[in-house]
Amino acid sequence: MGLMKKLAAVIGLALVAVSVANVEFGALMGLDPPQKLILAKMAEPGCNSEEIQRDLDSGDVNPCVTTPGVWDAPDLLLLIEGCVIFLSTLLRWPRKGRWAVRIRKLAIVTGLTLCGIALADSFDKLPGTSSEDLAVLLPFPAPAIAVQIGIFAAGIFLVRGPKYKIEQQKKTKEDKREFSHRELDLAYKRGGDLGSLAKTRKLKGADKYRTIGDLWGHQSLSQYEDAFEGGLRDDFQSTAGRTCHLCNGEGCNGCSNTGMVQ
């Protein structure tokens, strides 16, 4: 797991812990008795522990806190966000194959949709709800412009994605592999000469010799062979043919007295 995934996992667990501690135990502020803090009102004046405790002691109702154990929409949203961020660090999205293509297409469509929604809302062309309504649901205070920027940034992230870089790397590896295969085919045709493949890296040991003949001559191995082994080597200058059908191999004008027909 990389550094970014570890950081995301810590952030996700922190969001889950904050939401549970706030709603179930009222532990975000040292109040007596414990109260659930409304996170969306944290930035408002009068939402500090001293003033809230003063209102509780006097029996007044403070708008920044409420009874613990009640899960509102912002609390559930914060809990879901933490779970999604944490679980996303454990998932391994497919990077090749049919499912990778499907997920990539879905991400592009979703990203373009989010970008369109953000732009339409910025020009007040979005019917129904708006970013101001979404800002109310957030578990922390945020202006409408921040919601628009967040939606647009999420859309750009989905459209961009990591797939282009992966495809380029895969294509480069395939090109190199295909080039190597072509060079090996040419090496067989040239009788073992590796051509440019022999120049791609510094040669060591037996790799310095392109053919068996080069290795044989450099090591002076011919002095160690006997008559039988010497007869196995051939310069491949001889020709092959079939027995002449006119003279049955005895020699005639038809085969130039060789007994063989090419």
The tens place of each residue's pLDDT in the chain, 262 residues long, gives: 578 788 888 999 998 999 999 888 888 888 888 888 888 777 778 788 888 888 888 888 888 888 888 888 788 888 888 898 888 888 777 777 788 888 888 988 998 998 998 888 887 777 776 777 777 666 666 777 888 888 888 888 888 876 444 445 555 666 677 767 777 676 666 665 555 555 555 656 656 666 777 777 777 777 777 777 766 666 556 666 788 888 888 888 888 888 888 7
Q: Which amino acid, 156? A: I
Query: Could you give the CA distance from residue 133 to residue 110 in angstroms, rounded to a whole number?
Result: 21
pLDDT of residue 17: 93
Query: Could you give the CA distance from residue 129 to residue 107 in angstroms, rounded to a whole number?
Result: 23
pLDDT of residue 166: 47
Query: Could you give the CA distance from residue 90 to residue 154 in angstroms, rounded to a whole number?
Result: 20
Q: Give the tokens for residue 139.
A: 């578990």
Query: Could you give the CA distance from residue 222 to residue 224 in angstroms, rounded to a whole number?
Result: 5
pLDDT of residue 163: 47
With tokens 């040239």, the residue in question is: 190
CB atoms within 10 A of CB 158: 19
pLDDT of residue 109: 92
pLDDT of residue 60: 84
Residue 260: strand pairing partners:
243
Sign, CA torsion 250/252/256/262: negative
Count, residues in the chain: 262
